[in-house]
Structure 1
Amino acid sequence: MNLMDIQPVVQQIADAIAAVLKIEVEIANHQFIRVAGTGENKVGVLRKMEGDFVYQSAIRTGQPVIIENPGFEKVCERCTFYKNCSETGEICAPITYQNQAVGIIGLLAFDSEQRMRLFENTDGILTFLNKMAELLASKLHEHEMIKELTRSSEKMVKVINLVDQGIIVLNSIGTPLEMNIKAELLLGIKERGKYPAQIINLFLDLVEQTDTLNHTFTLENNNKERTLFITKTKIAIVGQYPEYLISIQDVNDIQNLAEKATEEHKRPFQQIIGVSSKINEVKEYAFKVSQSNSTVLIQGESGTGKEEFAKAIHNASFRKDKPFVTVNCGAIPGNLLESELFGYEKGAFTGANDKGRIGKFELANKGSIFLDEIGEMPALLQVKLLRVLQEREIEHLGGNGPIAVDVRVIAATNKDLQQMVKDGKFREDLYFRLNVIPITIPPLRSRKEDIVALSEYFISEFNNTFHSKVLGLDKGVKEIVLNYPWKGNVRELKNFIEYLFNFIDSGWITLEEHEELIIRKLEIKKTDYYINPPSFSLVKMEEELIRKALNYVKEHNLNVEDASKLLEIGRATLFRKINKYQIDT
C-alpha cells in the first residue's frame, strides 16, 4: 500500500486541485517521498522531502495541521528552514487507508494572493482536503483490488494450464473467454482468436445444448482424426447470460490412463517371479479374481507359492489397505483352532484369557483371511466355517450371539479336496462354498522357463543377503536344475540356491568346481545327467570368459570398459576381441 504505486493518478489529482484552487499542491507518501507536486514543488517529485516536520505531525496525530506563520511556529523549530521558510501558509491533512496513514496532502501558499485564498475559508478548505484524501485512498484501494484480481487471474491461468485436460470458458454465444494451453493443443488452435470453422461450429453447438453434456467429438486436423471426450457444465450467469465450463480430453489419453491404472493395480502380481505362459496366465486370471469379493480356493503342490498368490489377490483388491490375516490350519492343534479362528469369551475354557480374546476372523474384518492347508481342518470346524461363509457372521467360543464380519476368504491346499470329499474326509457343501473361484498353480517342473528366472532372482537376493558376488549358474548346472523334478517346487529351488551360497561367495556356479555340492544336495548320481567332456581350447575359454565378464557388467549396470578391469586386459584389447568373436554389447 504505497501511493508511489499510483503516482501518475496522484499527480493528475494534484494538478486538478491546483487548477481549481489556484494554490500549490504537494502529496507525499508515508516515507515522506514527494509523490506529486505543482509549481516549484514539481521538480522535487519522487525525491525525499526536507523539512517535513509538519507532515510528520499530521501523520503521527492523524489530524490536519494549519500553519499560518510558516518558519516561526513551534512545529517548525527543528526544520532546516526555520525562520527562513519560503511558504506563506500551509494546510495539510493525512491520507488514511484501512486505518493506517499512507501519506499526506498539503496545500501551500507562496505569496500573499495564494495565502488569502488558502485562509479565507479554512473550514471549507479542510473539508475539501479531507475529501481529496478520501479520493486518493479510494484510488489506492482500486489499485490494490486490481492487483489482487490480476494476481488471482494469473494464478488461475497457471492452475488451468497445469490441468492435464483442455479447459475452455464459453459465453452464451460461444465465444471463448478463457482457454488453457492443453485445449489449444487438442483443438489444433495455433493463434488465440483465430478459430477454424469446425471449432467455431463446435463452440456454437456446445452452448446451444441447454443441459449438462458428455459426448465424444471427432476432430479432423492435418488429415488426421482425433476423438475427443467433451463435458459441459454451466458455471455462472452474468446478467441474464450463462457461461459454460468445457473440459476436453483425448480419448486415447483416457485409455492410456486406464491402462496405467490397471498396470498399477497389477503391481502385486509383478512381484511373483515367472516368465512362462502358464504362470502369466494364472497371474492374469488371479488379477481379475482380485477385483471381486468372492471366495477363492487356491490349489497346488507344496511350495508353488499359494500364499504369494493370496497376498497378491488381497493387495490388488479394494481391501488392500485393510488387514491380511494368515492362518495355517495344519499347524494349529484342532482343539485350539476354533478359538484361534473365532475367538472366545472369558472363562470359556480352562486356561482361557480372563478378558477373552477376538479371533482371526475379527482381526481380518474389512480385509482378507488366508486359510492355508484348509484340507487339514477338523470336521467340526468345517461346519462352523461353512456357517461363516453362508451367514457372514461368527460366534465366540462360550459366546451368546453372532458377530457380523466382512471378510474375504482365500483358502489354499495341496491336497485333492475332491478326492477327500469322495472319501468322506471333507464336507462336500464346504468344498462348493470354498471353490467359488478355483485357482490352480502349476508345479515348477511343468514350467521350466521359470526355473532359470527364479534361480537368477534368488541368486540376486542371496548376493545381497550373504554380501556375495555370485554371477549365476553355468550351462551345465542350468541343465541339471532344468531337468530336476523339484517336488518341493519354488521353495525347494530357493533352499537349493541358499545352500550353495553357504559354500560359494563369488564367480559362477559350475559343475567343474561345485559338482559334489550339487550332487549331495539334490541326491542325484553322476549317471543321472550327461556331462560334456571339458574343453581345453584356449580360444573358446577366452571367448567364454569375455562373454561372462560382459554379462556381469551388464547385470550390474556397469560400463563395457569395466569388463576390461575384470579380465585384467587393456580397453583396446577388449574391444578388439569383442569384434573378433562378434559379441553383441
Structure 2
Amino acid sequence: MTYLKEIGEYVQTTAEVISSILDMQVIICDTDLELVGDSYPDFSPKDSRISHESILTEVMELGKNVVLDSNESHQGCAKCANREKCNVISIVGMPIIYEDNIIGSIGILAESQNSKEILLSKKEYYMGFISKMSDLLISKVRERKKNIELKILRKRLLSIVDSIDGALISSDGSGHIIHWNTNIKDFFNISDLKGKKIHLYDIIQHPSIRELVEKGIEFKNKEIVFNRDGKTTYALISGKTIDLDDYKYGAVIVLKKLTDVYDEVNDLSNNRITTNFNQIVGSSKQINIIKNKAQMVSNSKSTVLIQGESGTGKEVFARAIHYTSKLKDKPFIAINCAAIPDNLLESELFGYDEGAFSGAKKGGKIGKFQLAEGGTIFLDEIGEMPLHLQTKLLRVLQERYIERLGSNTSIPINVRVIAATNKKLEEMILTKEFREDLYYRLNVIPIRIPSLRERKEDIPFLLEYFLEINNKLLGKSIKGYTEDAMKTLINYDWRGNVRELQNLVEYVVNMAPSDYIRKEDIPARLLNNFRNSDASGNIDKNSEDAFDINENYKVESLDDIIKRNIIKALKYFGDDLAGKEMASKVLGISRATLYRKIKEYNIV
C-alpha cells in the first residue's frame, strides 16, 4: 500500500520530530519495505529499503509491538549483510494500523549502550509516545484520502456538468459567477469571463434572473435572445437556487439553444414514421405521374399544396416528400387544423408565453412551427382554418417570423410548409371562406392526388398489399380473393378511397372463414352502396365512370391486368434478384407475393 508514500514529506517530518524529542534515531517504513521517513541526516528515500529479516518487517508481519533487547539475540541481525557496519544495538518497533490494515511501522533505534538502557527502561513511555505519533500519521493518511475523494468527486461533478446538453452557470449567493461549463461558449466569449468578477446581471438581461438572485424565485424554460458578434441566438433559460438548511448559497442557470431543443423533441417524438415513394402502392399512370412530380420537388423549399379526396393518402405523400428530401433528419410535424378548436389552434401553431391567457401553462409552450424548425410542418385540412388565422399564417409565410401568444418578440423560423385539403379552395375563395392571397402563397407547387375511381388498375395491388399486412398483423394466412370478390371490389365506388379500402380488408381478413375472401364475406353495407353497378356487381354501361365498352371491345380480366404489369415491371428492372426486389416495390407488393404471382401466372 502507498498510503505513507502519498504523505511522504509529512512522514519524514514526523521521523525528525520524534528523533529530536527522544534524542534517538527513528525510521518509518511501509509494507513494501521502503523507508519513507528516516532521521539520519543523509537520508534519501530513493532506493532506501529494509531487509526481509528486519525487526520492522517482523513488526508488520506480527501486527504487534516488538522490542529488540540486543542485536545478538535476533536472527535477522545475525544474517544481516551490514552487520559489521551497523551501530544499532536495540530497537522498539510499532505497527501503523489504518482501517484494520497494517500500512507500515515505526522504529526507535538505540546506537549506544546508554541509549539502549534509556530505551529499554522507558519503553512503555516511548511506546505511548510513538502510538500518538502513529495516530497523527493515520489522521494525515485519512485527511489525504478524504482530499483525494473530494478531488475525484469534484472531477466527476465537473465531467457531469460538462456533459450536460446545454450551457450551465453557477453563482454564489450574491449572484457573482463562480463556475461555468464548456458549452457556455455557444452564448458568450469565455475570454470575457475568465479572471474577472462578473455578476449574472452583467451577462444575462432577463427579469427572472433578478427574481432568482434576490428573492429565490426559481423558473423554467423562459425564452431569451442573445446577440453576439452580429449573430442572434434564441434559447430557453432555467434557474434554480442552491439551498442548505434554509440558507441560499447560490444559483444554477441552464441555457439551451432552441435549435437543440427542437432536435431533442424530434428525436423523442413519434413523428419519425419514415415514408418513401416506393412505399406508396400503385403503378398506374396517374399515380406514377404524381409520385414523379412529388419526388422532383422534394428538395425544394417552396410551399406545397396537396389536394385530393379524403383517404387518398395526402399525409403519406407529405411524409414521402419530407423523408426523401435533404430535411429527412429534421423534424416532420403534422397538425390537423380541423381537429383543434378555433380558440386553441393559434396557440398550437405559434405557442404562447406564461400568463398569455387564463389557464396558460407555467413557463409557456412552444408551438408547432418552432418544433418543426429546420424541417417540415404539415398543415392538414388547411381549408378548415378560420379566416383570422389565415391572415396570421400568410404573414408567417411571407416574413418567416412568428410571435407567440402573449409575446411581442419575433422569432425567426426556417420551416418548409406542406399544406393539404380535401376542399375546393377556389370555390371557398369565391364565397369568402378562404383568403385568395394565402391560396396563392400555399399553391406554389400544387399536387393533386387521384381518387381510387381514377386509378382502378391499382386496386388489385392495394388489396394484395393490405391483405399481406393484415395477415401478419392478425396472425391469419388468407391466400387471396375469389374472382367474384375481386371484381366486386374493383367496381366499388370507394368514396373513402385508400383509407376505406384498408379498413375493408382488415374487416374481411378478420371475418373470412376460408382460405380465400369471397364476395359474401364483403359487408352488406358495401354491396348495397354500389354506384353505377347492378345487384350482381356488373358495370352499368351507361355510367360515365364505366369502362369504355362496346361490342368490338373485350374487357381485360383482372388476372390479365396483374400479369401484364408484372411482366412489364420485370422487363424494365430485370428478372434477377435485384430486379425482382425493385419490381415488387413498384408494384406495391412483397417479394414473396411477387414470386407467388410469377408461379401462379406461369411467367417465365
The TM-score with structure 2 as length reference comes to 0.50
- Alignment map for 1:40-189 (pairs within 5 Å): 40=41, 42-43=43-44, 46-50=47-51, 52-74=53-75, 76-82=77-83, 85-189=86-190
Q: What residue identity is the alignment partner of 2:107?
A: G
Q: Deviations over 1:312-371 (max 9, x none)?
A: x99xxxxxxxx94487999589xxxxxxxxxxxxxxxxxxxxxxxxxxxxxxxxxxx998
- Give the 3 Å change call, closer, same or farther, for CA 251–44 of structure 1 in structure 2: closer
Counterparts of 1:129-528 in structure 2 under 5 Å? 129-190=130-191, 191-194=193-196, 195=198, 198-199=202-203, 206-214=212-220, 215-237=222-244, 240-259=247-266, 265-268=272-275, 272=279, 274-277=291-294, 281-283=314-316, 288=334, 300=452, 301=456, 303=458, 324-325=473-474, 372=502, 374=504, 419-420=529-530, 466=577, 491=587
Secondary structure of the structure 2 residue equivalent to 1:96: strand
Give 1:32 deviation, angstroms: 0.8
Q: Secondary structure at the match of 2:253?
A: strand
1:554-565 to structure 2, matched below 5 A, reads none
SS in 1 for 2:79: coil
- Matched with 2:15 is 14
Distance in 2 between the 1:55 and 1:492 partners? Answer: 87
SS class of match (1:144): helix
Quote how far apart the aligned CAs of 1:161 are.
Answer: 1.7
Give the partner amino acid of 2:162.
Answer: N
Q: 1:261 to 1:40 in 2, by over 3 A?
A: closer
Q: Distance in 1 between matches of 2:464 and 2:203?
A: 53
| Distance across 1 between alignment mates of 2:46 and 2:93 | 17
Give the distance between the partners of 2:572 and 2:133, measured in 1 at CA: 82
1:9, distance to aligned residue in structure 2 (A): 1.5
Q: Deviations over 1:142-184 (max 9, x none)?
A: 2222222222222222232222211233332223343210024
Change in CA separation of 1:96 and 1:469 when aligned onto 2, cut-off 3 Å: same
Give the counterpart letter for 1:198 in structure 2: D
Letter of the 2:216 counterpart: T
Give how far 1:189 is off.
2.7
> What SS does the corresponding residue of 1:267 show, helix, strand or coil?
coil
* Aligned-residue offset at 1:51: 6.7
* Residue type at the aligned position of 1:491: L
Given the superposition, is the C-alpha separation of residues 67 and 10 from structure 1 closer, same or farther in structure 2, using an over 3 Å criterion?
A: same
Name the stretch that deviates more: 123-132 or 181-190.
181-190
Unaligned runs of 5+ residues in structure 1 are 315-322, 334-368, 383-411, 426-453, 474-487, 503-520, 522-585
Whole-angstrom CA distance in 2 between matches of 1:489 and 1:29? 76
Residues 376, 115 of structure 1: CA spacing in aligned structure 2 closer, same or farther, 3 A cutoff? Answer: closer
Q: Kindly state the Cα deviation for residue 86 of structure 1 after the two structures are TM-superposed.
A: 0.6
- TM-aligned CA distance change 1:41 to 1:467, over 3 Å: same
Deviation at 1:242, TM superposition (A): 3.5
Contact 1:213 1:233 (8 Å CA) reproduced = yes
Contact 1:329–1:377 under 8 Å retained in 2: no
Per-residue CA deviation, residues 86-123 of structure 1 (Å, 9 max, x unaligned), is 11321111111222211111112223454354334211
Distance (whole Å) between structure 1 residues aligned to residue 165 and residue 50 of structure 2: 54
Q: How far 1:494 sits from its partner (Å)?
A: 10
- The 1:153/1:47 distance shift into structure 2, 3 A limit, reads same
**Residue pair 2:463, 2:501 contacting (<8 A) in 1 also:** no
Provide the TM-score with structure 1 as the length reference: 0.52
CA–CA distance in 2 between the matches of 1:464 and 1:86?
A: 100
- Give the aligned partner of residue 29 of structure 1: 30
Structure 2: stretches of 5+ with no match in the other structure: 281-290, 295-305, 307-311, 320-332, 340-448, 483-498, 513-521, 536-564
1:203-249 alpha-carbon deviations (Å, 9 max, x no partner): 65542342331212222322433222111234542783344332210
SS at match of 1:303: helix
d(CA) in 1 for partners of 2:338, 2:116:
93
Change (3 A) 1:467 1:6: same
CA distance in 2, matches of 1:158, 1:251: 23
Go from structure 1 to structure 2 and tell me whether the alpha carbon gap of 1:244 and 1:109 turns closer, same or farther (over 3 Å shift): same
- What is the distance in 1 between the residues matched to 2:101 and 2:506? 84
Give the SS at the match of 1:216. strand
Cα deviation for residue 256 of structure 1 reads 4.0
* Cα deviation digits, residues 418-475 of structure 1 (max 9, x gap): 94499999xxxxxxxxxxxxxxxxxxxxxxxxxxxx99xx8899679526799x99xx
Contact kept in structure 2, 1:35 and 1:45, CA below 8 Å:
no
Q: Distance in 1 between matches of 2:500 and 2:32?
A: 76
Give the deviation of 1:61 after TM superposition.
0.8
How far apart are the structure 2 equivalents of 1:174 and 1:158? 23
Take 2:39 and 2:571, find their aligned partners in 1: how far apart are those partners?
85
Q: CA deviation at 1:60?
A: 0.7
SS of the residue corresponding to residue 134 of structure 1 reads: helix
Q: Is the 8 A contact 2:464 2:480 kept in 1?
A: no
Query: Does the 8 A contact of 2:88 with 2:111 survive in 1?
Result: yes
Q: Hey, what's the Cα distance between the residues in 2 that align with 1:224 and 1:492?
A: 49
Q: Using the alignment, how far apart are the partners of 1:188 and 1:308 within structure 2?
A: 62
CA separation in 2, counterparts of 1:291 and 1:82? Answer: 100
Tell me if the contact between 2:466 and 2:505 (Cα under 8 Å) persists in the aligned partners. Answer: no
- How far is 1:11 from its partner? 1.2
- Could you tell me how far apart the structure 2 residues matched to 1:372 and 1:246 are? 52
* Distance in 1 between residues matched to 2:24 and 2:195, nearest whole Å: 51
CA distance in 1, matches of 2:176, 2:529: 74
1:29 Cα deviation after fit: 0.8
Q: Distance between the aligned counterparts of 1:95 and 1:461, measured in 2?
A: 88
Aligned residue pair count: 376
Alpha carbon RMSD of aligned pairs, Å? 5.3
Distance 1:210 1:4 in 2: 47
SS at match of 1:249: strand
Distance 1:224 1:370, change over 3 A: same
Equivalent-residue separation in structure 2 for 1:376 and 1:236 (angstroms): 59
Cα 1:285/1:327, change in 2 over 3 Å:
farther
- Aligned-residue offset at 1:77: 3.2
In 2, Cα distance between the equivalents of 1:187 and 1:460?
62
C-alpha separation in 2, matches of 1:168 and 1:219: 15
Contact 1:230/1:247 (<8 A) preserved: yes
Distance (whole Å) between structure 1 residues aligned to residue 153 and residue 336 of structure 2: 46
Report percent identity of matched pairs: 17
CA distance, structure 1, for counterparts of residue 166 and residue 463 of structure 2: 42
1:211–1:421 Cα change, 3 Å: farther
